Amino acid sequence: MKFKSKALLTAGFMTLASLGATTAQAVDLTMYYPVAVGGPVTKIIDEMVQGFQKENPDIKIEAVYAGNYTDTMTKAMTAMKGGQPPQLSVLFSTDLFTLMDEQAIVPIDELAGSDGKEWLNSFYPAFMENGQVGGKTWSVPFQRSTIVLYYNKDAFKEAGLDPEKPPATWAEMAEVSKKLVKKDASGNVTRWGVEIPSTGYGYWMLQALAIENGQKLMNEAGNKTFFNEKKTVEALQYWVDLAAKDGVMPKGAVEWGTLRTDFLEGKTAMMWHTTGNLTAVKEGAKFNFGVAMLPAKEQRGSPTGGGNFYVFKSATPEQQKAAVKFIRWMTAPERAADWSIKTGYVAVTPAAYETETMKAYVKGFPQAIVARDQLKHAVAELSVHDNGRIYKIVNDAVQAAVTGSQSPQEALESAQKQSERVLSRYK
């Protein structure tokens, strides 16, 4: 008996002690994040998280790599529906409407404190576009990009082209590509002129071409798309013709994931890809390469792209505050500069480009500034309600066209019809 009460007492003390410990203990946060580019990104994130925890011992962050953007969204949403959502996540900036429709996230403005407004105004406006709806800011830019043209300077020289003069218009790009195509004795192509990836992010590439042709793809309310407009069709036609008519791009779908390898192996002289891949290309290239803004038809242009920080609604107020603290730390000028240098993503604030590290880096590697300069031509990435479904519809249309199973006109008519059906719910 005596023994039993003693044991109970001890247990009681232990519970008390552990209770005391939790109140004084760190706020625990779980963050999911995606990786869509090459290079040791998970290691970079882990180092940044450790740096933050060293300065803020009262906050503990578990950063979980969750696959590509779609996988990460799937994981976050499944966790949420299963009752254990993360407290913050890096997700597609364009998943905003879906996350709002699912009532998953909270606006950042109120959480950011008294100087919050000033902080949110310090970002590039082009990157804020995808995160602001109805006068509120729902997400904070982090790994943001634009599409750029990577080109192999050595191949340009070999083909008798000026390596300092990348193509500036659609017509020029087609012309230059013809000169860059190389064939072996039996007529098989050993080097293509240009490759635009059509798997994974086909909608993104189509949007770039449409913007350059002077056509936007969606309205601001996110419930209307413009896929079957004449200029969108022209954009897709140009893309298809690069393979079908000009013979400068491989026929069929061009794989997003292996395109960087194609470029590094010299299988293609130019590629359209996210600037997020810049550092991986720089590390891997055994030749001189250049980076240029995408060529223009009516105008220059690229959609922005990439991921933003979101804070989840189900987190406790302390967790939400801690999450915003972490986000502010991650996007501070020095960190943004460091992140940009290590990956190639565009640093999200102008202040980052004023830091000494960034200035020195850009001086030695001017390619790093191209994507940022392109921002003045950039447009918000395609983002509508039921985004996952719309992306699939557009990607299917792009693939139908590049594989030749439908004409661009047919493919986009069908995409528009399907989108209208999906979006009719949100009007």
Burial label for 164, CB within 10 Å (0-12, 13-18, 19+), is exposed
Q: Is position 259 an interface residue for another protein (rule: CB under 8 A)?
A: no
d(CA 243, CA 197): 12
CB 169 to another protein: min, Å: 28
Q: Cα–chain-centroid distance for residue 149? A: 16
Of 330 and 401, nearer to another protein (C-beta) is 401
Of 6 and 421, nearer to another protein (C-beta) is 421
Q: Is position 267 an interface residue for another protein (rule: CB under 8 A)?
A: yes
Q: Is position 139 an interface residue for another protein (rule: CB under 8 A)?
A: no
Q: Is position 314 an interface residue for another protein (rule: CB under 8 A)?
A: no
Q: What is the dihedral of CA 203, 205, 210, 214, to 10 degrees?
A: 130
d(CA 217, CA 197): 19
Of 36 and 59, nearer to another protein (C-beta) is 36
Decide if 395 contacts 227 (C-beta within 8 A): no
The DSSP symbol for 169 reads B
Footprint on residues 106-125 left by another protein (CB under 8 A): none
What are the backbone angles phi and psi of residue 190, rounded to the nearest 5°?
A: -105, -20
Decide if 300 contacts 3 (C-beta within 8 A): no
Give the interface segment with another protein, choosing from 18-26, 43-51, 260-268, 320-328 (CB under 8 A): 260-268
Q: Is position 420 an interface residue for another protein (rule: CB under 8 A)?
A: no
Q: Is position 195 an interface residue for another protein (rule: CB under 8 A)?
A: no
The DSSP symbol for 225 reads B
Q: 144: number of CA atoms within 13 Å, CB side?
A: 35
Decide if 132 contacts 268 (C-beta within 8 A): no
Q: Is position 102 an interface residue for another protein (rule: CB under 8 A)?
A: yes
Size of the site for another protein (CB under 8 A): 40
Q: Is position 250 an interface residue for another protein (rule: CB under 8 A)?
A: yes
Single-letter code of the amino acid located at 4: K
When computed from its CA atoms, the radius of gyration of the chain, rounded to whole angstroms, is 24
d(CA 138, CA 95): 11
| Binding test (CB under 8 A) with another protein, winner from 41, 402, 412, 423 | 402
User: Which residue intervals of 366-423 are DSSP H helices?
Assistant: 370-374, 387-402, 408-423
| Binding test (CB under 8 A) with another protein, winner from 188, 356, 364, 424 | 188
Q: Is position 252 an interface residue for another protein (rule: CB under 8 A)?
A: yes
Q: Is position 105 an interface residue for another protein (rule: CB under 8 A)?
A: no
The DSSP symbol for 200 reads S
DSSP-derived pairing of the beta strands 302-311 and 59-65: unpaired
What are the backbone angles phi and psi of residue 318, rounded to the nearest 5°?
A: -65, -40
Residues 6+ positions from 313 with CB-CB distance below 8 Å:
103, 104, 105, 106
Give the interface segment with another protein, choosing from 46-54, 94-102, 123-131, 282-290 (CB under 8 A): 94-102
d(CA 308, CA 131): 8
Q: Is position 207 an interface residue for another protein (rule: CB under 8 A)?
A: no
CB 287 to another protein: min, Å: 17
Of 40 and 388, nearer to another protein (C-beta) is 388
Token pair for 330: 């991650």
Single-letter code of the amino acid located at 28: D
| Binding test (CB under 8 A) with another protein, winner from 262, 300, 301, 379 | 262
Q: Cα–chain-centroid distance for residue 372? A: 14
CB 284 to another protein: min, Å: 15
Of 262 and 381, nearer to another protein (C-beta) is 262
Q: Is position 254 an interface residue for another protein (rule: CB under 8 A)?
A: yes
Q: Is position 396 an interface residue for another protein (rule: CB under 8 A)?
A: yes
| Binding test (CB under 8 A) with another protein, winner from 10, 25, 219, 258 | 258
For residue 120, the SS3 value is helix
Q: Is position 388 an interface residue for another protein (rule: CB under 8 A)?
A: yes
| Binding test (CB under 8 A) with another protein, winner from 53, 169, 314, 403 | 403
Of 22 and 186, nearer to another protein (C-beta) is 186
Footprint on residues 58-87 left by another protein (CB under 8 A): 70, 73-74, 77-78
Give the interface segment with another protein, choosing from 98-106, 108-116, 283-291, 353-361 (CB under 8 A): 98-106
| Binding test (CB under 8 A) with another protein, winner from 395, 412, 416, 419 | 395
Token pair for 251: 């026929």
- Residues lying near another protein in the complex (CB under 8 A) are found at 70, 73-74, 77-78, 98, 101-102, 186-188, 198-200, 250-255, 258, 262, 265, 267, 386, 388-389, 392, 395-397, 399-400, 402-403, 405-406, 414, 425-426
